[in-house]
Amino acid sequence: MGSPTKSIPLPALPPGPRTRAARQRAAFGARSLLEGLQSELIAELAQTEVVARLRKVSFLGAIDHSPWARHAQAYLTSRFDHSIGVALLAKSAARKLKLSARQRDTALAAALLHDVGHGPLSHSLESAFAKTFGIDHHKATEDRILGPSASSRALRAVLKQFRVDANEVVRLMNGEAEHPLAAFFSGPINFDTVEGILRTANYRGGVRTGLDGGTTIDALVQVWMGHATQDLVGVLDRFWQTKGLCYSQLVRGNLGVVSDHKCQLFFDANRHRFRPEHFAWDDAAFSSHFPELFCWLGDDAAPAVKLPDRSSIAYVRRLFEVSTSHSLGSSTLVSMRARYRQHKKPAVLDWPHRTTTAREPLTIWETNLRSATASATPY
């Protein structure tokens, strides 16, 4: 199982409502990105039931309902915000590569729709639904685009209106289509991970990483075009290091591991209450049906299941390495996968079922992430 990792205290903050200012900033950010796309296709798709549902699906899942996030005036975001951002990066790449209108619109649709299958709390409960009901967000995404439901048919009607093939969109999302941007959906550094990691790095109002989505995608496009200069490769290396820190310090850090574990414990203790159709709900509907789970996520002093005094959480760490012995050559997808590697390692976290200071985890998060901008050490 691996040796226990060092126990870092979790934040102890009372649950508090998200501020009006935070909600307004989040809404403005999504609206600005949507307007920036200047795409009728995206504007129409964003109004469909399938896509609009993502407005109420938290981007970081259970972390977004933790006392730390709920108390702070954070720049709170959803899977909808993320999907709009991914579409914006796809449009940028399509413009740089001078794609045809049809190729561009297929890529935009694939970018916007890539996460429509996410369940409530994003990834936090996905493994439980997958194990119990055989449902995951990849299968659900295909079903919500190609399935027989009225909402899926309405989505396909919009795609057809703009002469976009729904099946081609799904193939592109899966990296199976013959499309100039196929590798930008399936490679180790892709539209989804660039937007998602840099959004995560900006968690809690902004940590300077020296990177932005446009710069990173521009470097990726140039490398794919055969211009793998030292500076451009350095941008991609730094992004990969930042991804490693986002996972080790937040997504798979103490807060992420404990938040996801709470969800798993709640699911196991209440399995008789869960149904496959719950995976199609958003966070708001889910919290109405399972209020005790969200109360526990927001307040460690209100456990929704019986707990011992302390326990150990077995989880899987994800380690990200820049293998500098592999250059980015002409076979770019092969060389990308050789240079940007990730490993999984079993780990154990000591969980004392209590929290201490609120500031310490944020200090760890800020310090480690900022150090990445000045370090060339792979993580």
Is 379 within a domain? Answer: no
Given pLDDT bands bounded at 50, 70 and 90, which one contains residue 66?
confident
Q: Which two tokens stand for residue 101?
A: 């209108």
Q: What percent of the chain has pLDDT over 70?
A: 79
Of 13, 57, 72, 6, which Cα lies nearest the Cα of 297? Answer: 13
Is 65 within a domain? Answer: yes
Query: According to the model, what pLDDT value does residue 329 have?
Result: 76
Parallel/antiparallel/unpaired status of strands 311-322 and 340-351: antiparallel
Q: Distance (Å, rounded) from C-alpha 190 to C-alpha 217?
A: 8
Is 96 within a domain? Answer: yes
Amino acid identity, position 73: Q
Q: Which two tokens stand for residue 314?
A: 């077995």
Given pLDDT bands bounded at 50, 70 and 90, which one contains residue 204?
low
Q: What percent of the chain has pLDDT over 90?
A: 63
Is 335 within a domain? Answer: yes
Q: Which two tokens stand for residue 222?
A: 């140039």
Query: According to the model, what pLDDT value does residue 1 have?
Result: 38
Is 50 within a domain? Answer: yes
Confidence check: pLDDT of 21 > 80: no
Domain containing residue 284: CATH number:
1.10.3210.10
Host domain of residue 284:
4-372
Mean pLDDT of the chain: 83
| CA angle (269 as vertex; 79, 247 as ends), nearest 5 | 40
Given pLDDT bands bounded at 50, 70 and 90, which one contains residue 12?
very low
Amino acid identity, position 145: I
Is 296 within a domain? Answer: yes
Q: Which two tokens stand for residue 122?
A: 């994003």
Q: Are 139 and 117 in contact (CB under 8 A)?
A: yes
Of 358, 364, 318, which Cα lies nearest the Cα of 341? Answer: 318
11: β partners: 356
106-162: per-residue pLDDT in tens? 999 999 999 999 999 999 999 999 999 999 999 999 999 999 999 999 999 999 999
Given pLDDT bands bounded at 50, 70 and 90, which one contains residue 374?
very low
DSSP for residue 229: -
Low-confidence winner among 192-196, 272-276, 364-368 (lowest mean pLDDT): 364-368
Q: Are 191 and 354 in contact (CB under 8 A)?
A: no
Given pLDDT bands bounded at 50, 70 and 90, which one contains residue 302?
confident
- 30 or 308, greater pLDDT: 308
Structural domains in the chain (count) = 1
Low-confidence winner among 3-7, 58-62, 216-220 (lowest mean pLDDT): 3-7
Is 377 within a domain? Answer: no
Q: Distance (Å, rounded) from C-alpha 42 to C-alpha 108?
A: 7
Confidence check: pLDDT of 283 > 90: yes
DSSP-derived secondary structure for 32-47: HHHHHH--HHHHHHHT
Q: Which two tokens stand for residue 188?
A: 């180790």
Query: According to the model, what pLDDT value does residue 168 have?
Result: 98
Q: Tell me the H-state helices in the chain.
A: 20-37, 40-46, 49-52, 67-71, 79-96, 101-113, 126-133, 137-146, 150-161, 166-173, 183-186, 191-201, 213-224, 230-246, 254-269, 283-289, 291-298, 332-339, 359-372
Is 37 within a domain? Answer: yes
206-254: per-residue pLDDT in tens? 456 778 899 999 999 999 998 999 999 999 999 999 999 889 888 998 8
Amino acid identity, position 98: K
Query: According to the model, what pLDDT value does residue 378 have?
Result: 29
Given pLDDT bands bounded at 50, 70 and 90, which one contains residue 353?
low
> For the whole prediction, is pTM greater than 0.95?
no
Confidence check: pLDDT of 5 > 60: no
Of 223, 227, 196, which Cα lies nearest the Cα of 211? Answer: 196
Q: Distance (Å, rounded) from C-alpha 29 to C-alpha 153?
A: 29
Q: Per-residue pLDDT averaged across 15-19, rounded?
A: 36
